[in-house]
Amino acid sequence: MEEMQTEQALEDKGILPSYAELLQATDGGRSIFEHVLNQHGLKMTDKGASHLQNPFYDDSHGGMSITQGDDRYIFRDFGDHDYKGDAFDFAGHHYQLDPKRQYKELAQRIVDEVLNGQYVASGTTQRKPPKRERQTLFFDWHDIGDCWTLLHDHIGGTWDSGKEQLARYKVDEAPDGRTRYWYIDRDQNIRESKLVQFYPYGASISKKGADNNVNITVRRPAGQPSDRCLFGEHLIPKCTDKPVIIVEAEDAAITAACNYDTAHWCASGGKAIKDEQLERIKDCEIFVMPDHDILLDQKERRHLSDRLHRLAQLGYNIRRLDMMRTNAADVSDILHPNKLAKMDIRDYLEALH
């Protein structure tokens, strides 16, 4: 406690730069991140970094990201949640100094090594990090820029049209580094966002981490209608000759769109397709493509067939597409049996690729 009080006194007298002053002098901590990463042979881009290998332990997954927050850069390791915080926490791991208890030593290392001993005292004009408005959850999707999430790199690096499709589907990176899917209806209204964490899985990616759990959050805007839309619905024009094919997962719809341009690919976002998700596309020819596990389960398959029959009686032009069952033999010697049993179209196309 006495050590902390002494350091605070030194800071108050101007002998040490304050936390806020160092944050300002290092562009929100960006210079600190860049310096430490450089010591480990790693780099940041203009927007930060994603799926980096954590330099502080033997990280084989590369689940660390660095992103720009409201007034500082922050990092998070999705493979080990003990590694998170701002640039001072990051530097603390590098120098093996506690940012709270050993602020004096840490600040001196930053001044000497990051600022080359050229610290400018408080009150002097400094180059500040670019102004960044607080990011609201729902905004005009025209403003969504490029993103470099694990999904983006995987899809974009696997198929020629990958980056184009991700831009069309309005997929971006959330402030916490997760992939964010925007659910936008045919009238171009944002209905909800879904945040998903992806993890490296061999040559592919998976929503399940080492603990076999998923990290998914769904957010809806206050004051907006509660009825859901399909993911990718905003890509369906009011009059279209192309059929709409509905799969379960968003990444499956994007992957399918990279390979087949003869249909509008949408996702329900879950095993069950809500009636409200179908109402706005009642004018379209609709195919429902279940994952392989649904088709292998007689009870689930019958339940889906009965529901589609009921919808057909209500005027929907809707049918089931059994592609995952009829084409399973094509990849039975490639996919693991457990993967094959739950295969969706992304699994199928990746196996063929």
pLDDT of residue 147: 58
Q: Does 323 reside within a domain?
A: yes
Structure confidence at residue 174 (pLDDT)? 85
Contact (Cβ atoms closer than 8 angstroms) between residue 21 and residue 122:
yes
Asked whether 163 and 152 are in contact (CB, 8 A), the reply is yes
Residues 80 and 224 in one domain: no
Instruction: For residue 151, report the phi and psi dihedrals to the nearest 5 degrees.
Output: -60, -45
| CA gap 257, 89 in Å, rounded | 42
Q: What's the CA gap between 324 and 234, in Å, rounded?
A: 26
Specify if 168 maps to a domain: yes
Tell me phi and psi for residue 106, to 5 degrees: -65, -45
Q: Tell me, yes or no, whether 160 and 305 share the same domain.
A: yes
Q: State how far the Cα of 125 lies from the Cα of 50, in Å rounded to an integer.
A: 31
186 and 244 inside one domain: yes
Q: Are 220 and 191 in contact (CB under 8 A)?
A: yes
Q: Do residues 314 and 235 both lie within one domain?
A: yes
Q: What are the backbone dihedrals phi and psi of residue 308, each rounded to the nearest 5 degrees, phi first?
A: -65, -35
Structural domain includes residue 200: yes
Asked if residue 171 belongs to a domain, the reply is yes
Which residues have a Cβ under 8 Å from the Cβ of 97 and sit 6 or more positions away? 91, 105, 106, 109
Q: How far is CA 294 from CA 251, 274, 281, 342, in A?
A: 18, 17, 23, 8
Contacts by 77-86, CB closer than 8 A, 24 or more apart: 78/177, 78/197, 78/199, 78/209, 78/215, 79/54, 79/199, 79/209, 79/210, 80/54, 83/54, 83/56, 86/23, 86/29
- Residue 4, token pair as written in the block: 């902390």
The pTM of this model reads 0.61
Structure tokens given for 181:
């899917």
Do 110 and 169 have their domain in common? no
Q: What's the average pLDDT block by block, 10 residues per block, for the chain (353 residues)?
A: 40 60 87 90 81 87 83 85 90 91 88 74 41 37 55 80 89 87 91 89 79 86 79 92 95 94 94 91 95 93 94 95 91 88 92 85
101 and 21 together in one domain: yes
Q: What are phi and psi of 248, to 5 degrees?
A: -85, -50
Task: Assess whether 232 and 335 both reside in one domain.
Answer: yes
Per-residue confidence (pLDDT) for residue 25, from 0 to 100: 85
Give the sheet arrangement for strand 190-196, strand by strand: 171-173, 179-184, 190-196, 216-219
The structural domain count of the chain equals: 2
Same domain, 104 and 149: no
Q: Domain check: are 225 and 95 in the same one?
A: no
Residue 65 lies in a domain: yes
Residues 192 and 267 placed together within one structural domain of the fold: yes
Residue 136 resides in a domain: no
Domain extent, residue 188, equals 144-352
d(CA 261, CA 308): 25
242 located within any domain: yes
Pairwise CA distance, residues 161 & 171, whole Å = 14
- Of 282, 289, 283, residue with least CA distance to 266: 289
Interatomic CA distance for residues 287 and 116, integer angstroms: 63
CA distances from 306 to 43, 149, 230, 311 (A): 55, 39, 21, 9
Same domain, 222 and 301: yes
Question: Residue 288: its pLDDT value, please?
Answer: 96
